[in-house]
Amino acid sequence: MKTRIIVAAILLPLFLIILLFLPPLYLAVLISAVAAIATHELLHAVKITNKRVFIYTIIAAVFTPLAVYIGRIAQSVSQSDETIASGNIATLLLFTMLLAIFFILMCELLIELALTYKNKKAIEKGTQLKPQQIPVALAAGMLIPYLLSALISLKTLPYGHLFVLLPIVAAFMTDSGAYFVGITMGKTKAFPTISPNKTVEGCIGGVILGTAGMLLYGLVLHLTTTLTIMFPVLIIYGILGAIITEFGDLAFSFIKRKCGIKDYGKIIPGHGGALDRFDSMTFCAPLMYLLVIILPAILI
């Protein structure tokens, strides 16, 4: 626990500096690094041992957040032009880059499948790529990095340094509420076959504290900025954010349990791997971006 607290005290301020004060490019580079590590961890967890597959998927994981960054910057520039054509071009640019990454990765995986299929040396070494492993590689190389890139999309919005904190607040407060309520009041097992330590009381505590944290963040913005804060809508943000945060944590816990591992990695002392820290963010960040777009709670 001591190591966990010390590491968090060091890394959290650095993370907040990138989110709040540095340009979006720095966040894009950080997400690319996190995505690359998370990709390696997931492939290792599911026992994909083919080195070339590792290289292909990690490269895709690095370029996906950077493609989202380029596309979002192009969209923000096109908005200043105030023409439908420029906005369509920026959207098309983002779609084309992501499609190109997906197509290249898919082709590389299919080629690797053909090269190792019934290959005696590959089978003996355990490096044979199996058809059922291709969706896992695609998820590791593109889906997870793209979902995490919602943080970049939030950061590139006007007042993005404030919007990007929405999933951070939701995930942090929910995790804290679930943990502390769970260890102090938890009695009823919520998902014993997936995550034995999770309790019904902890899940409820996570939703309550996650919602309270969102309202508190709205109050801080109300007192320190000229923005209009819709507190009833923030309650929706808090509830949905807390639920999706707990779902994300549960989903990746299920994968760990199926793979027979405790943590995805050891890169963060006391916290495990990148996936152990960003599992809930993979679900929460895209949700918050969608809510900001379709159901604004912070009006500029």
What residue ranges in the chain does DSSP mark as E strands? Answer: 189-191, 195-199, 228-229, 298-299
pLDDT 10s digits, 31-59 = 999 999 999 999 999 888 889 999 999 99
Single-letter amino acid code for the residue at 54: F
Distance CA 2, CA 82 (A): 53
Cβ–Cβ under 8 Å, residues 153 and 64: no
Give the number of other Cβ atoms within 10 Å of residue 270's Cβ.
13
Distance CA 135, CA 143 (A): 10
pLDDT 10s digits, 107-119 = 999 999 888 877 7
Distance CA 101, CA 146 (A): 11
Cβ–Cβ under 8 Å, residues 263 and 273: yes
Distance CA 216, CA 229 (A): 11
Domain borders along the chain are 24-156, 159-300
Give the number of other Cβ atoms within 10 Å of residue 46's Cβ.
16
* pLDDT of res. 81: 58
Residues in the chain where the model's pLDDT stays below 70: 1-5, 7-8, 78-87, 124, 269-271
Cβ–Cβ under 8 Å, residues 32 and 61: yes
* pLDDT of res. 78: 67
Give the number of other Cβ atoms within 10 Å of residue 155's Cβ.
26
pTM: 0.91
* pLDDT of res. 237: 97
Give the number of other Cβ atoms within 10 Å of residue 82's Cβ.
8
The residues that bridge with 199 in the sheet, in sequence order, are 189
Distance CA 260, CA 237 (A): 34
Structure tokens at 229: 């804060």
